[in-house]
Amino acid sequence: MAKNNKLGPRKPGKLSVYLYIPNIIGYTRVFMNCYAFAICFSNKWLFCALYFVSFVCDGVDGWCARKFNQVSTFGAVLDMVTDRISTACLLVILSQVYRPGMVFLSLLALDIASHWLQMYSTFLLGKVSHKDVKDSTNWLFKAYYGNRMFMAYCCVACEVLYITLFLLAKNDSEKLMDVLKASITEGSPISVLVGLSLFGWAIKQLVNVIQMKTAADICVLHDINRKVRP
């Protein structure tokens, strides 16, 4: 009797996962951001262009992962770490050119804490993606992660606002509220951009607070359930 030599699907090698198309895009984003921040004060416009292209690539690598069936945990972590570090670096720069700088440092802390807790709680629940919030009871949280266009608008608005504030800074001691008021009331295209960005930015910060609280609750419930096991 002939033996069945059919084998199941081959597991991808370690190197092949590292060389997934979306992961290569992720590496490109890292190098692009390193160069962008190296020239941020000497060439503001080039910095903003490179930073925004890197941000756009964040959506491209996700599309490639789904298109070529190259979704990976490493890719998801690389993507989130790159996003968080990029935004963190920009917020640190803004904290140096605006007063009070603590506003931007607080936003940095909220951004990192909420996303780290969300990622950790995702693994505790055994979910594949940190964007899987279908079981959440908060409508805004579900709307944010459930609607790609809505989430994209909020993320783009947040980054555009930070980039615009960086371009508007004339020296290293700008008063944040004065710059915001002037940019909104002057009636120029930049004022419309700032106004639209502020709305999306505010929603994203609210989602970050909800995300942090929801993820913290999951961690606490995990501890409670582990202790009550017989």
**Residues tagged active-site:** 83
Q: Which residues neighbour 61 within 8 Å (Cβ) at sequence distance 6 or greater?
A: 21, 22, 23, 25, 26, 29, 75, 79
Helices (H) and strands (E) in the chain, counts: 9, 2
Quote the DSSP letter at residue 51: H
CA gyration radius for the chain?
A: 21
Torsion of CA 203, 206, 208, 209, to 10 degrees: 180
Host H or E run for residue 128: none
Q: Rounded CA gap, 53 and 41, in Å?
A: 18
